[in-house]
Structure 1
Amino acid sequence: MATTTGNPETGETTTKDGVRRRDFIEIAAVSVAGVGGLVMVYPLVSQMAPSADVLAASTTELDISTLEAGQAIVTEFRKQPVFVRRLTQAEIDEANAVPTGSLRDAESLEDRTQPGHEDVLVVMGVCTHLGCVPLGAVTGENKGEYNGYFCPCHGSHYDTAARIRKGPAPTNLLVPDYTFASDTTIVIG
């Protein structure tokens, strides 16, 4: 049993082990303030979490079983266009014939495709200059001087591997993170 002693001059009571009643009140007040602070901060932090529609758009699954050589599909990933193109052997040969040292943003076709699927090119359909959507994914559109993609906003020309060849764009069209779930299904994101 703890014994308490009182100091008549200050009015404080101290237990035998030296704990004052005031110490308990201070610890309790700090604890209540800490819990109150967490209660106030939690809604602020939780509102910064991505919403359900953003989480749902975090990946895009695409069936490419009907995609023939020379054709492209335009899909959407995180509210931006994505071009998926099955390259012809002539387009692959044309891309591989360009020395990477002569390119502004040096990447080979092999760097831009998945192993075993070198004929499938997946790129974001957003020009790296100012964010316009290049032409060339749909049949009959202007493909530019290098038979790939052409940005009509400021005249950037991309080759068959979506590498910048002419115009103001500083880099190649971006290749998003993607995997092949099967030989006919791509998961972007």
Structure 2
Amino acid sequence: MAETTTADEPTRRDFLFIATGAMGAVAAGFVAWPLIDQMSPDATTLAAASTEVDIANIPEGQIITVKWRGKPIFISHRTPKEVEEARAVALNELRDPASDESRVQKPEWLIVIGICTHLGCVPLKNDGPFAGGYFCPCHGSVYDASGRIRQGPAPYNLAVPVYKFTSDTKLTIG
């Protein structure tokens, strides 16, 4: 004789377990949300995520400094001679090999983060043995007109931030 099995009907206790679990999950969400939300950046941080710079009034051969995310950004309007000298350097002469072409979007404009890669000092602009280069007086790191390390203890080139030209006279960093 074949026995038939029947599924147990849900009881009131099963309903209470499910309802209690669901309410606990909702309560946990309400408790966790403020903790998760406070980790988001505030409005001032989001506003500083990018900055727009008018480069129309920067004469050739001059370097200006703007601030982005609390860091100095060097914007250099390089002369044709500086560009030519930067491109003529053999990559095997460099400690941190990088071509000038890989560091710029337009040959006449170099945009780098102005923080020495040795100990985080701010190098001096248009200083050192390389025309249009940078010199960090703290420990003697010397960078060329492409922001590449040439002498001293710094291990890497000056970093290039994310940037784009929005027009011939406007630059957006970040």
TM-score, normalised on structure 1?
A: 0.86
Pairing 1:105–2:90 present? no
* C-alpha distance in structure 1 between counterparts of 2:107 and 2:165, whole Å: 12
5+ residue gaps, structure 1, are 1-15, 138-142
Report SS of the residue matched to 1:41: helix
Shift of 1:17: 5.8
Report SS of the residue matched to 1:150: strand
* Deviation readout 1:110-148 (Å, 9 max, x if unpaired): 11110xx210000001111111100015xxxxx112230
Structure 2 counterpart of 1:31? 22
Q: Report the identity percentage.
A: 49
Pairing 1:87–2:78 present? yes
* C-alpha distance in structure 2 between counterparts of 1:145 and 1:157, whole Å: 8
Report SS of the residue matched to 2:53: strand
| Number of equivalences | 167
Bigger radius of gyration = 1
5+ residue gaps, structure 2, are 1-6
Pairing 1:136–2:120 present? no
Structure 2 counterpart of 1:150? 135
Matches within 5 A, 1:46-85: 46-85=37-76
* C-alpha distance in structure 1 between counterparts of 2:38 and 2:139, whole Å: 39
* C-alpha distance in structure 2 between counterparts of 1:168 and 1:25, whole Å: 69
* C-alpha distance in structure 1 between counterparts of 2:139 and 2:45, whole Å: 31
Structure 2 counterpart of 1:171? 156
Opposite residue 184 of structure 1, the aligned amino acid is: T
Structure 1 residue runs of 4 or more that deviate by more than 2 Å after TM superposition: none
* Deviation readout 1:81-138 (Å, 9 max, x if unpaired): 0000010111111111110122111111111110xx210000001111111100015x
Opposite residue 47 of structure 1, the aligned amino acid is: Q
* C-alpha distance in structure 2 between counterparts of 1:26 and 1:144, whole Å: 75
* C-alpha distance in structure 2 between counterparts of 1:18 and 1:154, whole Å: 80
* C-alpha distance in structure 2 between counterparts of 1:119 and 1:187, whole Å: 16
Report SS of the residue matched to 1:74: strand
TM-score, normalised on structure 2?
A: 0.93
* C-alpha distance in structure 2 between counterparts of 1:153 and 1:48, whole Å: 36
RMSD between aligned residues = 1.2
Report SS of the residue matched to 2:159: coil
Opposite residue 126 of structure 1, the aligned amino acid is: I
Opposite residue 134 of structure 1, the aligned amino acid is: P
Structure 2 counterpart of 1:10? none
